[in-house]
Amino acid sequence: MTKSSFIRKYSNRFLSRWLVLVFDSLIVIFSFSIATLLRMNFQLMEIDFSVFASQLIFVLGLRLLAFLYFQSYAGIIRHTSIEDAILILKAVFTGSFGAVLVSAVIRNTLGFEHVFNLSASILIIDFFICLFWMVILRFFVKSFYESFINQFKPTIGVLIYGAGYTGMLTKNVFQTDRSTNYKIFGFIDDNESKIGKTIEGIKVYSLPEVLDKFVGSNDGMEVIMAINNMSAKSKRKISDIFLDRGVVVKALPPVDKWVEGEFAMNQIHNVKIEDLLGREVIQMNNKRIGEEISGKVILVTGAAGSIGSEIVRQLIAYFPAKLVLVDQAESALYDLEYELAGKVPTNVQLIVNVADVSDTRRVSKIFKNHRPDIIFHAAAYKHVPLMENNPYEAIKTNVIGTRILSELAAEVGVEKFVMVSTDKAVNPTNVMGATKRLAEMYTQSMNQLEGVKTKFIATRFGNVLGSNGSVIPLFKKQIERGGPVTVTHPEITRYFMTIPEACELVLEAATMGQGGEVFVFDMGESVKIIDLAKKMITLSGLRVDKDIEIRYTGLRPGEKLYEELLNNDENTLPTHHPKILIAEVNTPSYAYMEVATNDLNHLLSSGTNNSIVAKIKEIIPEYKSNNSVFETLDKKSSK
């Protein structure tokens, strides 16, 4: 700050303070004058103006001393509060009391009967008039200032869901915000004893009343969820009601993020789409998982991917002796290693390997160097349209890579091999899903080999929110760019779960697997992608087809309208965990899978895309291409 700007800043500050003091002095003069007139019944002839002037100067001097002592003039008037009013009360009372005390002392010691013979009734009347005008004018100026400023601030209507303690805190935060003019329409509550009543001047409504009275008639309105212990199901239900009507829904931060029992305005955030698609917190058997993982060597393939990296994060909490990360994505692996720096316990050894799972020599060295006890195999190509155009890479990584890993696991005596599969492996309609089904079949057939101690397990689930290639990040980018948001088909649906939720279930399934199981996760209800797109647009504070257009682009190559978790011939068996089921799958023999994968491997060096995919269809009869160039192969086989 320059010297001139420093002087200007502080001179303006002191100037404004002295102006308030001058203004307060004028109120003192006015108050004493009115008090004297009232005491004399407005009989001007009975007033000795020389005595009046002396008494006025005396009272004004004492009040100025009180104002200076209590700094009652130093507050910013536009921010006047009850605390400021109390400070003024102290200053005015001190001035009045001082006038009585000092005048009595002077009168008894020095005389000056006429000047210091202050009437008690005048001082009492003066006290109340002075106090009233000093306080009321400050609040008047504050109100006028806020009304004037609010004309230039955006106005947003707010409804607060929850009329309890948290709702009161929320109301106070919005009312004290200076950046935006928030108009609180009311509280929403399910408690009938509160409905129809007012709390701190704001009425409490039922949900139907709010929908009828406010929703639709107020553009730009927001609903704030102010109930901390609300279940995920209730939050989803209420949010859906408002989002379907184009109303933005916001939520408070978790209680543990509050500072000294309160939260700041900038902590209130839009409800995330993950919150609406997620379910209640899954109860995991952490003790059992800990016994399975603690002190062992764990290898994670695809460790830098969405699923693999979350598995790594969760595994750290169970203190494995060594955590071996394998991925061919150099940058992503580096980012993960950087993220974990300082978070890994000192008794956990972290090994990072850049490697391709389809490279036998490289993977073999990793196995021999680290001798893993448990493998979580998440490495795979998962992008449906890309793999439809690149079946070579899909086979090489998803099938041959899995074969190499599983055979090495059996060779070195790995305890458990947990393969992360996908719902697209069920009745596959694309190359990616078919290769994942082949990987399932191969690992399951390994359980049939005599002398192999490794327990091969597969876990099968649908889309995970926020994963690489997920529709959620795509929609977010499209909304940020101003649209359009692209949806392939108006009827397309998908199952969703969060990444942490999926990985927790993978770890739980790993503990209960005895070899040969294909675990299927309860994915809840499927979601229409068009509804998902509309909710995300509304959550961004924008209007569907007004601010952001939704455009249908048609199904992509290999894409299904509906995903499935079970084959037509598969049934499920329950487990001790309500969210995990065991699919009863038909597993071919190891001999058959060995020959089939050998044939595929041979085709990689000499075959065409059509011959590769034709071979896959031969191995997996239920594989029927959809919206793909490979549909002609299905027609040929049906003749």
Task: Report the alpha-carbon angle 82-88-91, nearest 5.
Answer: 145
Instruction: State the number of CA atoms in the 13 A half-sphere of 441 facing the CB.
Output: 25
Tokens of 587: 């597993």
Distance CA 638, CA 159 (A): 61
Measured in degrees and rounded to the nearest 5, phi and psi for residue 153 equal -100, 145
Q: Contacts from 280-289 at CB under 8 Å and sequence distance 24+?
A: 280/231, 280/232, 280/233, 281/232, 282/501, 282/504, 282/505, 282/579, 284/504, 284/507, 284/508, 285/508, 285/511, 285/577, 288/511, 289/318, 289/507, 289/508, 289/510, 289/511
Q: Are 324 and 395 in contact (CB under 8 A)?
A: no
DSSP 300: E
Find tokens 């001999």 and name the residue. 591
Task: Report the alpha-carbon angle 336-471-469, nearest 5.
Answer: 40
- Residues annotated as catalytic are 424
Find tokens 């639709």 and name the residue. 216
Which is nearest to 274 in space by CA: 463, 73, 1? Answer: 463
Find tokens 């499935």 and name the residue. 564
| Whole-Å CA distances, 266 to 163, 166, 263 | 21, 16, 8
Per the omega criterion (within 30 degrees of 0), is the bond before 588 cis? no
Find tokens 């000092």 and name the residue. 102
Distance CA 294, CA 297 (A): 9
Find tokens 């490289």 and name the residue. 362
Residue 515: burial class (beta carbons within 10 Å; 0-12, 13-18, 19+): middle
Instruction: Produce one character per residue of 145-171: b if its CB has 16 or more CB atoms within 10 Å, e if not.
Output: eeeeeeeeeeebbbbbbbbbebbbbbb
Find tokens 């697997």 and name the residue. 513
Q: Contacts from 98-101 at CB under 8 Å and sequence distance 24+?
A: 98/62, 98/65, 98/66, 99/58, 99/59, 99/62, 99/123
Q: Which amino acid is at 144?
A: F
